[in-house]
Amino acid sequence: MASANDDFLTVCGGCNAKIGAGNLAAILKSLPRPKQSDRLLVGYNSDDDAAVYRIDDDTAIIQTLDFFPSMVTDPYLFGQIAATNALSDVFAMGGDVVTCLNIVCFPEDSNMNILEKILKGGAEKVKEAGGILAGGHSIHDHRAKYGLSVMGKVAPDKILRNDRVQDGDVLILTKPLGVGMVVSAYNAKQTSEAAYQAAITSMTTLNKYAADIMREYPVDSCTDITGFGLAGHLTEMLHGEHQATLTAENIPMIPEAYECGGEFLTTAGGQRNRDFIGNRIKMTFDDYALEEVLFDPQTSGGLLIAVQPEYADEMMAKMNELATKPAIIGKVTKKDPTDPVEIIVD
């Protein structure tokens, strides 16, 4: 824990702190199901990115929240990263951010200047996203944690779900992978400042800009890549009915992430993701480092977009103007029900 005279944070998590998908699924199955309502368009009975509730024929609200302990020592950067991550779910579902509430856990005996910097970083990202910071809630805790509860809006017929892929869809990833491994390795002094700064840039870039382009096209499905890694979130998108073939050389990565994977500079969250995916992923060649990149938990990762092939090149021409350098990483086909493999990496 930081002392009262320190002006930095203890490093301990980001989206790597997320509870594993397997454990969550077992818990959620045991909970009583909410009363059915034709207004609740998306609830926790699916694996989607946020809840969606229809107000009227023209408007639905998107409701989400996200918070975690810091993965960086700089409190201002932590605030920016946590807010960018929390805001992402609204963009992934095709919506606009409306209001946000701060979620704060902070040690009672710690330096309040740290908290001020965290909140400043978060507030700036809310403003950049076009939202209004409307309040929040704080408690004392032994370790600093921060995030947002976010309300967005979307037209009911424009909601993007994470499990609506179609046969033939092209997969576009809007940010590079490897954030979890690079940041962990940097904190252990095992990777370069350049790689770390690339990860920071990725984590503090709003998915708003990619979403603004995405909404110009008839996208079938979208999700954002966070704690379950690309492999985990892609299996949610395929939902047991489709198969994705990824082109290994097209998968974007943070500089040095591949090297981190090869040197076993990985994360506990990545191992949980590997255990959960099991035999649902098949590599057509041996490449342990690449596997680790695919399983790596992403903090404030990019959007994974499934779009019909006739629109992919035009969308990518616009996406290429983004600083995060999106890429077409694969395609979707209908899956043989007898085949357990959902992701093939060529």
| Residue stretches of the annotated binding site for ATP | 18, 46-48, 66, 89, 136-138
Question: Which residues lie closer than 8 Å to 335 by C-beta, 6 or more apart?
Answer: 238, 240, 241, 242, 243, 342
Binding-site annotation, residues = 18, 46-49, 66, 89, 136-138, 224
> How far apart are alpha carbons 193 and 182 in whole angstroms?
10
271, amino acid identity = Q
> How far apart are alpha carbons 186 and 260 in whole angstroms?
10
> How far apart are alpha carbons 302 and 203 in whole angstroms?
9
> How far apart are alpha carbons 209 and 303 in whole angstroms?
11
| Sign of the Cα pseudo-torsion (296, 162, 80, 103, in order) | negative
> How far apart are alpha carbons 40 and 27 in whole angstroms?
21
The count of residues in the chain is 346
Is residue 222 annotated as a catalytic residue, yes or no? no
Report how far Cα 12 is from the mean position of its chain's Cα atoms: 18
The full DSSP string for 239-271 is TTTEEEEE-GGG--B-TTHHHHHHTT---HHHH
CB neighbours of residue 99 within 10 Å = 17
Helices (H) and strands (E) in the chain, counts: 11, 13
Quick check: 194 and 274 in contact, CB under 8 A? Answer: no
Q: Which of 12, 15, 105, 260 is catalytic?
A: 15
CB neighbours of residue 178 within 10 Å = 29
Binding-site annotation, residues for Mg(2+) = 49, 89, 224
Active site residues: 15
